[in-house]
Structure 1
Amino acid sequence: MKIIKFETWWLKRDKCLFDQKRKGKSNMDWDVVVLKLTTDTGTEGIATALAARSGQVTESYLHDNIAPVVLGRSPYDREKIWHELWNIDRHLTFFPVYLPGPVDVALWDICAKAAGLPLYKYIGAYRTQLPVYASGLFHEDPEEYVREALYYQSKGINCYKAHPSGPYELDMKIHENIRNAVGPDMKLMSDPVAEYTLEEAIKVGRHLEKLNYEWLEEPFRDFELDKYSRLCAALDLPVAATETTRGCHWGVAQVINQKAADIVRADVSWKCGITGTLKIAHLAESFGMQCEIHTTTMNYMDLVNLHVSCAIRNCKYFEYFVPEEDFSFPMKGLLPIDEQGVIKVPEGPGVGAELDWELIEKLSVSHRAEVLEA
């Protein structure tokens, strides 16, 4: 079995999901590139790639730099292809962080389908479901965090992560308001995506300890390892990091070595696919650490995250980015979350989800295909 066709569809959307402070003056429509790899047996591997800053850049990298590596190859050569792409990233250019992952996902999807197995069983199953936590966007109105947490609590989801927008004094008030509103039993997390000083982060972390939060995530940029090490030493509350750390498992290894996180983060979009995410999860497991899988902001790829989470032991939750309607495109249907706030892994071959190809064709501004020459 070998790959004979490499196709992409660039889907343009006039939508921005971030506030002005994080968007800046740069264009940030929430574009998506759909990737399809087809083998000589007719088996297809599907993935989606984030293209929030430039769909044209994402699509061009895929065709100019990655398609030549993949065409004509066996999808079972995933590890070899993964390392070749890593070498290209190092010596030719730096790929956007979310670029190699979808290619790796499509290769895994092909192999799981060929085996007639759901992806998590093809990897090696550990469980079939996880509790979800609703993970909201940045809100300019501080009261929106309370309303959002209460809404998802009413839907049976008893876990919520806030992304307060700063400054840290306001974030602390938001944390307290949420806890007071939802009561003592709801699991809560905070991810300010912040640029706190060390002193500010310690104050916020100690406040969260009193409020019985699960963790504090990304209070600094991921490369500020000394600040993270000192923060972890100062708090009993777990500190989660490595969401944007470059270098896949090699980068995360430096964080673990410097005791700069208590929980590491990974996902199949930003950490070089299923292959890269498994490397990070297994690395964390060897140090007795949780690897909490991070949303890809795309429901289809989040289902891939779920398969990985159900094939490892050291992940406690599924991150459910809300409102879901903003992230479901271009997948058909919604995520399989029940009334108790539990998501169950699909049992169909491969990823076990369908894309809306009629909508993809309608919204596509570009469709490119590379075909293996005979």
Structure 2
Amino acid sequence: MKITSVETHRIFVPAANPPFAWRTGLGGSAPAGYGSVLRIGTDEGAEGVALFARPGAAVMLEDIVDRVFREELIGQDPLQREWLWHRIWELDRIQELPLPVLGLVDIALWDLAGRMNDRPVWQELGGFRTQIPAYASTATFATTEEFLDVADQCLELGYPAIKLHAWGDARKDAALCLALREHVGDDIPLMYDGSAGFDLPDAVYLGRALSDAGYLWYEEPMREFSISAYAQLARSVDVPLLVAETSDGAHMNSADFIRAGAATFGVRAGTTLRGGITGAMRTAHLADAFRLRAEVHGSDIPNHHLCMAISNTTYYESLVTSSTVVRERHVDAAGLVHAPTGPGIALPADLDYGPELQRFVEVAV
């Protein structure tokens, strides 16, 4: 079997309704625009797809496919995913591909394999579980009172744990984290994501508040360029650190965080920023060798499959972006996400793909 076609299909991605915010300095939800679906076909009729839903991604992906991917992939065996994963990393040396693009080919090839075998990808990966709890991962709201109200709604809807994305002010964020702990009591797992908003002194200040409040993990308080800074943070606070979400290099970079003693809770895994399915699984196995967690980042369908395949992950991340909370469609009333049942990976059902892609859309999860 050989790859005979590598195509992109533009899709319209609407703006979030209502729009939402992240911390100061990061802006908020993206405006409407055109994303893209990468579609890989073969001489035996097998096909696979991967979604790049970021508004404005269409032009970027079309350029990369035309200049780089099509020539590299045509004529290759789509089942040699390891070889092709290495080839994408080789090409990245000169091309400096955006992190989300590094894994797109790999995701499409895993989707192709699952469809060939009529099995969901989490089973192709070996399978570990058929359900997992979801935590509510908030956007940034205006006031402490609004955060506390959102937390109440999340717990009432069945979410068993909550992660905050706050304002990016160490003192205000620390006060919010302490207020949320007092509000929900000691039994609810809480996490905090700094979205790389701090330097080391402020990260230490906030981390000590999180330690006092018994937070489960402290995520990305600083940009992930200085592993030395993260190692110093780990020595300075008791709250466990979850690291290596946005740093380049997939499992290779994660290994350096672990070796430095900076990953005291674990490392991030995920298809979007860790090199697709293959890179995420390598990261998870690396972390497992050190008895650390590999927490899956992001609430899209490829990461839904990862959560069912990775043994050392704790939760599915479910975004909560409105002050009127609605459970994500994959999360049930008990706060659980169940394993997908359809073949391959599938595209989410809430976008208009056009007739040529309809057979790739999720029908059962």
TM range, smaller chain: 0.7 to 0.9
2: CA distance, partners of 1:283 / 1:213:
24
Displacement after TM superposition at 1:340 (Å): 0.7
Are 1:342 and 2:342 matched, yes or no? no
On the 8 A contact 1:8/1:35 being kept in 2, the answer is: yes
Displacement after TM superposition at 1:145 (Å): 1.9
Displacement after TM superposition at 1:161 (Å): 0.5
Displacement after TM superposition at 1:28 (Å): 6.3
2: CA distance, partners of 1:101 / 1:200:
33
2: CA distance, partners of 1:53 / 1:185:
42
Give unpaired runs (5+ residues) of structure 1.
325-332, 365-374
Are 1:9 and 2:3 matched, yes or no? no
Displacement after TM superposition at 1:17 (Å): 5.1
1: CA distance, partners of 2:311 / 2:301:
17
Query: What is the match of residue 256 of structure 1?
Result: 258
Give unpaired runs (5+ residues) of structure 2.
358-365
Aligned partner of residue 208 in structure 1, secondary structure: helix
Give the stretch that moved more between structures: 205-214 or 154-163.
Answer: 205-214
Displacement after TM superposition at 1:141 (Å): 3.2
On the 8 A contact 1:150/1:181 being kept in 2, the answer is: no
Aligned partner of residue 95 in structure 2, secondary structure: coil
Query: What is the match of residue 316 of structure 1?
Result: 314
On the 8 A contact 2:23/2:167 being kept in 1, the answer is: no
On the 8 A contact 2:134/2:161 being kept in 1, the answer is: yes
Query: What is the match of residue 362 of structure 2?
Result: none
Displacement after TM superposition at 1:354 (Å): 5.4
Query: What is the match of residue 307 of structure 1?
Result: 305
**What do residues 321-365 of structure 1 show as CA deviations (whole Å, max 9, x unaligned)?**
2249xxxxxxxx9642211101011122212555467x2239x9x
1: CA distance, partners of 2:32 / 2:349:
20
Query: What is the match of residue 49 of structure 1?
Result: 52
Displacement after TM superposition at 1:303 (Å): 2.1
2: CA distance, partners of 1:137 / 1:53:
22
Aligned partner of residue 64 in structure 2, secondary structure: helix
Query: What is the match of residue 158 of structure 1?
Result: 160
On the 8 A contact 1:100/1:272 being kept in 2, the answer is: yes
On the 8 A contact 1:335/1:343 being kept in 2, the answer is: no
Query: What is the match of residue 369 of structure 1?
Result: none
AA matched with 2:139: L
AA matched with 1:289: L
AA matched with 1:66: F
TM-score, normalised via structure 1 length:
0.85
Displacement after TM superposition at 1:240 (Å): 0.9
Identity rate of aligned residues, in percent?
Answer: 32
Superposed CA RMSD in Å reads 2.6
Change beyond 3 A, Cα 1:115–1:14: closer
**What do residues 125-153 of structure 1 show as CA deviations (whole Å, max 9, x unaligned)?**
11111110011112333433222221111
Displacement after TM superposition at 1:242 (Å): 0.5
Give the stretch that moved more between structures: 53-62 or 205-214.
Answer: 53-62
Displacement after TM superposition at 1:54 (Å): 4.7
Aligned partner of residue 161 in structure 1, secondary structure: strand
AA matched with 2:343: P
Query: What is the match of residue 104 of structure 1?
Result: 106
1: CA distance, partners of 2:203 / 2:54:
31
TM-score, normalised via structure 2 length:
0.87
Aligned partner of residue 98 in structure 1, secondary structure: helix
Residue number among 163, 169, 185 corresponding to 2:187 in the alignment: 185
Aligned partner of residue 74 in structure 1, secondary structure: coil
Change beyond 3 A, Cα 1:335–1:304: farther
2: CA distance, partners of 1:176 / 1:88:
46
**Aligned residue pairs, count:** 348
Matches within 5 A, 1:350-361: 350-351=344-345, 355=349, 359-361=352-354
Are 1:292 and 2:295 matched, yes or no? yes
On the 8 A contact 2:140/2:165 being kept in 1, the answer is: yes
Query: What is the match of residue 90 of structure 2?
Result: 87
Matches within 5 A, 1:204-215: 204-215=206-217
Give the stretch that moved more between structures: 201-210 or 236-245.
Answer: 201-210
Displacement after TM superposition at 1:205 (Å): 1.6
On the 8 A contact 2:23/2:166 being kept in 1, the answer is: no
Aligned partner of residue 162 in structure 2, secondary structure: strand
On the 8 A contact 2:13/2:55 being kept in 1, the answer is: no
AA matched with 2:310: I
Query: What is the match of residue 136 of structure 1?
Result: 138
**What do residues 52-80 of structure 1 show as CA deviations (whole Å, max 9, x unaligned)?**
56531233113321122222222111111
Displacement after TM superposition at 1:282 (Å): 0.7
Displacement after TM superposition at 1:319 (Å): 0.7
On the 8 A contact 1:116/1:350 being kept in 2, the answer is: yes
On the 8 A contact 1:10/1:59 being kept in 2, the answer is: no
Change beyond 3 A, Cα 1:188–1:24: closer
On the 8 A contact 1:346/1:352 being kept in 2, the answer is: no
Query: What is the match of residue 328 of structure 1?
Result: none
On the 8 A contact 2:21/2:27 being kept in 1, the answer is: no
